A and B are shown apart, each in its own frame.
Chain A
Amino acid sequence: MYQLLKQIAKTGIVTEPAPLPDAALRALEQRLGELILKHFGRALAIRHVDAGSCNGCELEIHAMNSPYYNLEGLGIKFVASPRHADMLLVTGPVSRNMETALRRTWEATPDPKLVVAIGDCGCTGGIFGESYASCGRVSNVIPVDVAVPGCPPTPVAILQGILTAITPGRK
């Protein structure tokens, strides 16, 4: 126990400041009113859906949970069910085998809801593109508010996308 407490004390607080929103990442006009966004800004529940990625984007979503980014300090929390979520964070080209599951997850998320597509594949279909097995970009299946490019995008870029989605403003 002594060793554990010593390690905590020695580590200190490593959290870095959060990035600013970037309107250039918007795919759709902000549809939500300022009042709702004010609430989301203080307590945002996110459900992650991997719709067919290579798992690279998931690595960066995990990394976003490291103490360097302190998500919960920003009021952001990942939840276990779409029924508890305000936002879906969707990675991958949408495989045709995940098309139905993604659509059902989106339908199960209560309104008002936001969708952020993560990574080059989520934005454009990426290297996998569209095929007999892939629907390509996320917006081919469900409406996307903000799209974050990168292969994979860094935790800071993903965080910036999330913050952009809950910021009032134009495209």
Chain B
Amino acid sequence: MSVPLSREDPHYPGIADIYPSANRMQRAAADLLGIIPSADADRRKWLRHGAWPEGAFPLRKNVEAGARFAQGPDRYPFVPVEGEGVHEIPVGPVHAGTIEPGHFRFSIVGEKILRLEERLGYKHKGIEKRFEQMTLEEGAKLAGRVSGDSTVAYAWAYAMAVEGATGTEPPRRALALRGILLELERIANHLGDLGYLGNDVSLSFGFFQFWRLKEDLLRTHAQLFGHRYLMDAVVPGGVAKDLPPAAGEALAERLARIEREVATLKSIYDEHAGAQDRFIMTGQVTPELAERMGLTGFAARASGVARDLRVDYPIPPWQQLDPRAASHTRGDVAARVAVRFDEVFESMRLVQALVRQLPDGDIRAPLGAAAAGARGVGWVEGWRGEVLIALDVSGTGGIHRLHPHDPSWQNWPLLEHAVHGNIVPDFPLINKSFNLSYSGVDL
């Protein structure tokens, strides 16, 4: 869908009243491009802090890539909460743990959270403007660094967009290898988070066990694909590195060993009364709320929303594998833990099946020429949720416009709901159960 805007007064009818998750995207578009939704929309700034002044729009083409603005004051109108015994806790942008920067404003009564307001945008480093200085080939590396923990999902979505815009057909072997890489990324992230979820309920045993297994997997990645997080493994046209039969066997064997240990750890988590007591009914997002607010990814699947791109749109390599979407309906931390365990096991099955049925042939096809004004879209079910890349090719065959879209745009607002009525000390646990990206939405 395209909406023509007037150059002098670029207004458009906002959609946040229909799709609440559009609120922050509309505000970001207003900050970067100066296109403004209709009068009744939330007009507060989002990505603009003090780095550029009101009235300057860095993503407009008349702003040079090398432009600099004087650092200005940054005032943000948090919604005040008043009443007897209510007080505020401001947290961040520099947090207490090893975590990305963002600001959380809690309004609390006693220990209970009455309201949480998130303020993000601290990591805004001009990724979209940076893309516009790149060729289609160069952009792949940047796409893999929009959100480091989802590098495969982004690189694949980017490759899909470029392949669409250039009419390139990646070889079937490359698609199967991309499937393997994506599932390995999913396993690695879930293992790390399952460890932290143990740690956050004082089960440090879980942290050390899961991080040992994650480290084993990361070392396997480095050995087989040349990078611990699989960065730059997916490239437009295919993949950068092949998986010879012996390496495939080694991978399957390593995964089988990790799988057995995860099964043991799952039964320890399941039977640990202290951990379950903290997990169950903590940070709940009901299926109704998830549906209304547009929750996505594994968090949505833990709240009864049975959507998974691999299942709903089974393009190669998912076609013959019949992937199963994990599901749960309670939407609490325990449900997100259960879904993560299920997805680890299912991804292990998918990787092993893909290794066994790896098609013969090339791993990379040459890119076709991109026509000026060509468009491409890439859409991939990353470990956190669906990652989307929208690409406009420039007149010289480079990148005219590119928007990398992280599932965290949809999911961050749900965290504000999930913490209602919970106690402040459970916030880190609830937050980790979602583990949303800051870099992916700050751009």
Binding site for B on A (CB under 8 A): 3-4, 7-8, 11, 14, 48-63, 65-68, 78, 80-82, 92-93, 95-101, 105, 127-129, 131-134, 151-152, 154
Chain A minimum-CB-distance residue to B66: A131
8 cross-chain pairs, A with B, having the tightest CB-CB distances, nearest first: A56-B148, A133-B126, A96-B51, A80-B96, A66-B211, A54-B148, A55-B148, A54-B145
Contact B94 A55 (CB under 8 A): no
Known: A3-B271, A59-B149. 9 other contacts (CB 8 A): A50-B99, A55-B148, A66-B211, A67-B211, A95-B124, A96-B71, A97-B49, A98-B122, A101-B122
CB distance from B149 to the nearest CB of A (A): 6
Q: Which of B87-117 contact A (CB under 8 A)?
A: 93-94, 96-101
Q: Please measure, in the bound complex, the distance between the C-alpha atom of A88 and the C-alpha atom of B98, giving whole angstroms.
A: 12
Residue B215 CB within 8 A of the other chain: yes
Contact A52 B148 (CB under 8 A): no
CB distance from A131 to the nearest CB of B (A): 4
Q: Given A54-B439, A152-B148, A59 and B126 touching (CB < 8 A)?
A: no
CB distance from B405 to the nearest CB of A (A): 16
Residue B125 CB within 8 A of the other chain: yes
Q: Please measure, in the bound complex, the distance between the C-alpha atom of A53 and the C-alpha atom of B437, giving whole angstroms.
A: 11
Contacts of B125 in A (CB 8 A): 52, 92-93, 95, 128, 131, 133-134
19 residue pairs of the A-B complex, CB under 8 angstroms, read A3-B271, A4-B268, A7-B209, A48-B97, A51-B101, A55-B149, A67-B212, A92-B125, A95-B125, A96-B50, A96-B124, A98-B122, A98-B123, A128-B127, A128-B130, A131-B125, A132-B58, A133-B124, A152-B148
Partner of A67, one of B148, B208, B228: B208
Contacts of B101 in A (CB 8 A): 49-52, 98, 101
Contact A48 B212 (CB under 8 A): no
Residue B147 CB within 8 A of the other chain: yes
Contact A152 B212 (CB under 8 A): no
Partner of B123, one of A52, A80, A127: A52
CB distance from A73 to the nearest CB of B (A): 13
Residue B15 CB within 8 A of the other chain: no
Q: Given A48-B98, A66-B215, A81-B96, A97 and B51 touching (CB < 8 A)?
A: yes
Q: Which of B38-55 contact A (CB under 8 A)?
A: 49-52
Q: Please measure, in the bound complex, the distance between the C-alpha atom of A95 and the C-alpha atom of B335, giving whole angstroms.
A: 36
CB distance from A156 to the nearest CB of B (A): 11
Residue B315 CB within 8 A of the other chain: no
Contact A7 B123 (CB under 8 A): no
Partner of A129, one of B49, B130, B218, B264: B130
Contact A4 B205 (CB under 8 A): yes
CB distance from B274 to the nearest CB of A (A): 11
Contacts of B65 in A (CB 8 A): 131
Chain B minimum-CB-distance residue to A101: B93
Contacts of A48 in B (CB 8 A): 97-98
Contact B122 A97 (CB under 8 A): yes
Residue B25 CB within 8 A of the other chain: no
Contact A63 B211 (CB under 8 A): yes
Partner of A62, one of B58, B93, B98, B438: B98
Q: Please measure, in the bound complex, the distance between the C-alpha atom of A82 and the C-alpha atom of B93, giving whole angstroms.
A: 13
Contact B148 A131 (CB under 8 A): no
Contact A55 B147 (CB under 8 A): yes
Residue B229 CB within 8 A of the other chain: yes
Q: Please measure, in the bound complex, the distance between the C-alpha atom of A60 and the C-alpha atom of B122, giving whole angstroms.
A: 21
Q: Please measure, in the bound complex, the distance between the C-alpha atom of A61 and the C-alpha atom of B98, giving whole angstroms.
A: 8
Chain A minimum-CB-distance residue to B272: A4
Contacts of A80 in B (CB 8 A): 96-97
Q: Please measure, in the bound complex, the distance between the C-alpha atom of A97 and the C-alpha atom of B58, giving whole angstroms.
A: 14
Q: Please measure, in the bound complex, the distance between the C-alpha atom of A134 and the C-alpha atom of B267, giving whole angstroms.
A: 46
Contacts of A58 in B (CB 8 A): 98-100, 148
Q: Please measure, in the bound complex, the distance between the C-alpha atom of A68 and the C-alpha atom of B211, giving whole angstroms.
A: 9
CB distance from B105 to the nearest CB of A (A): 15
Contact B438 A55 (CB under 8 A): yes
CB distance from B219 to the nearest CB of A (A): 9
Partner of A132, one of B93, B129, B207, B209: B129
A80, A95, A127, A133 interface centre (most CB from chain B within 10 Å): A133
Contact B215 A131 (CB under 8 A): no
Partner of A101, one of B94, B98, B127, B208: B94
Q: Given A95-B124, A98-B93, A132 and B51 touching (CB < 8 A)?
A: yes
Contacts of A131 in B (CB 8 A): 65-66, 125-126, 129-130
Residue B265 CB within 8 A of the other chain: yes
Contact bitstring B407-443, A, C-beta under 8 A = 1, else 0: 0000000000000000000000000000001110010
Contact A133 B209 (CB under 8 A): no
Contact bitstring B206-223, A, C-beta under 8 A = 1, else 0: 011101101100100000
Residue B141 CB within 8 A of the other chain: yes
Contact bitstring B308-321, A, C-beta under 8 A = 1, else 0: 00000000000000
Residue B67 CB within 8 A of the other chain: yes
